[in-house]
Amino acid sequence: MRKYVIMGVQGSGKGTQSKLLADDLDLTHINVGDIFRWHVKQHTKLGAQVRRIVAAGELVGDDLVEDVVRERLQQHDWNYGFVVDGFPRNRRQAEFFLESFDIDGVIHLDLPDEEVRRRVLGRRLCSRCGMDYNLIAHRPEVEGRCDVCGGELVTREDDTPEALARRLRDYHDKTDPVLELFRGKEYVTTVDARGEKAAIQRTIRERLGLPPYHP
């Protein structure tokens, strides 16, 4: 049984790395964002609650996040373990997590703010089919046009430098204390998130003493 937490700022490749790890080792990938999206889509009571919060321009509160994660982990469908992605978001949640689970490690994908800005502000989205583009890594063949459907590429509304600066500040304010707490327990493995996807996965596995990654 292996239980991991993965932490990293937006754009750090957290989702990709969790998935590579989880798929290969039969771990359950518990992604808080996905759980909320699922509830919204299935029109559950929780989904309605989330929809109201988001419509009011607010962030889903810590209490709600905590309830959702607790409920998800209680389902016990993780035979070989799990990778939790998007939780804990603050010190209190981290304390709750440590009390409730024996975790084997915290993977911290480290990406300098400058690189986060470069990656996030370079993102484009097709206004017609929703295909994701990144002007650094995945450029469209014709500038400003979707390769798939020819739709116009636009910037996501919340990807302005100001909004990103706010999110980065919020991330550090909340997450740095969590990392500090986990570091105190010697759980944290910090991996440079600037490299190539497979190389990062290999490093994560080496550090955690897991079987090597063979894509």
- Binding-site residues for ATP sit at 11-16, 123, 195
Choose, from 52, 156, 166, 183, the residue flagged as catalytic.
Answer: 156
Burial letters for 166-199: b for 16+ Cβ neighbours within 10 Å, e otherwise? ebbeebeeebeebbebbeeeebbeebebeeeeee
Contacts (Cβ under 8 Å, ≥6 apart) of 20: 197, 201, 213
User: According to CB under 5 A, which one of 126, 181, 191, 193 is a site residue for Zn ion?
Assistant: 126
Piece of 73-81, 124-132, 154-162, 180-188 that binds Zn ion (CB under 5 A): 124-132
Residue 151 sits in the site that holds Zn ion (CB under 5 A): yes
Residue 145 sits in the site that holds Zn ion (CB under 5 A): no
Residue 146 sits in the site that holds Zn ion (CB under 5 A): yes
The rounded distance, in Å, linking the Cα atoms of 122 and 174 is: 25
Residue 131 sits in the site that holds Zn ion (CB under 5 A): yes
The rounded distance, in Å, linking the Cα atoms of 81 and 46 is: 26
Residue 165 sits in the site that holds Zn ion (CB under 5 A): no
Q: Is the Cβ of residue 54 or residue 149 nearer to Zn ion in the bound state?
A: 149
Known catalytic residues are: 14, 89, 123, 156, 167
